[in-house]
Amino acid sequence: MVSVYGFVIEPGRLVLRDYTLAPRGWPADCDGLRIDVVSDTHTGSPRNGIGHLDRWVQALIDSDAPIVLMGGDYVILSVLAGTYVPADVIAEHLKPLTARKQVYAVLGNHDWWKNGKEISRAFSAAGVKMIDNQALPVQVGACRFWLAGLGDKLEGRPDVPGTFARIPAGVPVIALTHEPSLWPRLPASAALTVAGHTHGGQINPFGVFTPRRFRADSHALQGVYAEGSRTLFVTPGIGTSILPMRLGVPPEVSRLKLRGDASNAATGVSPR
């Protein structure tokens, strides 16, 4: 029964989970900013085809968050019983989302292994703002911050100094990258870093393999980690890789709410 659940039921689920984060120094003008995060969508893995793609896209459309961050690994490389879905097909199904929301994305290692430049081109043509090794200002109402996108640590040649050199001093910064192990290399000016890659361990019943404190070598990172003035959020993603099984880590759209107060001394999380 456990194997049936892990191979058949859980990979086809979709959980919308709420988190409340208070990155240190996050400005009061951005208090309550909502950002939705998806990563490791791996369209084409079993129980995760075009229908499931349309399902999480619709969930993002229906959400009250004005911004969507996508953390990489949109295609599959080698997953048992998977069917490869080209980037052009995936991008076409993202158009209803980009027509309504600001959508920013970086590439993951699987994307680079399957022609990252082509995937970036297809997504850009669909209205996704691809920000690998780029920094740009973002505004939602009175809230203004900078978004720093970093290339994938394995294959994307992340340019941390060059990317952050484009950002004015003293402004709030959110960093988006595929691999959370890049986090220690980012400057303290990145109040919040958002990453994926780990799938939350993918097979991780009751979160037994998830470390409570950040470990760069862990393949089961998920949720919120804080060190000093910096906060990392790792989304467990949606698809599967290698083995088409999820156990204890259902596919997730992570719904972040950022609390703004320059006096914040810690990061909190309230999952639903």
Residue extents of the structural domains in the chain: 2-258
Tokens of 107: 């590439």
pLDDT at 272: 30
**Residue 229: enclosing H or E segment and its boundaries?**
none
pLDDT at 1: 78
pLDDT at 261: 66
pLDDT at 140: 97
pLDDT at 264: 42
pLDDT at 3: 87
pLDDT along the chain (272 residues), means of 10: 91 98 95 98 97 98 98 94 96 98 98 96 98 98 97 95 97 98 96 98 96 96 95 98 96 97 43 34
CATH among 1.10.580.10, 3.40.50.150, 3.60.21.10, 3.30.365.10 for 2-258: 3.60.21.10
Which residue matches tokens 């050199």? 165
Residue 142: Cβ-neighbour burial (10 angstroms; 0-12, 13-18, 19+):
exposed
Cα–Cα distance, 164 to 4 (Å, whole number) = 46
Contact of 74 with 111, CB cutoff 8 Å: yes
Roughly what angle, to the nearest 10 degrees, separates helices 116-125 and 87-98? 30
- The predicted model scores a pTM of 0.95
Cα–Cα distance, 199 to 20 (Å, whole number) = 20
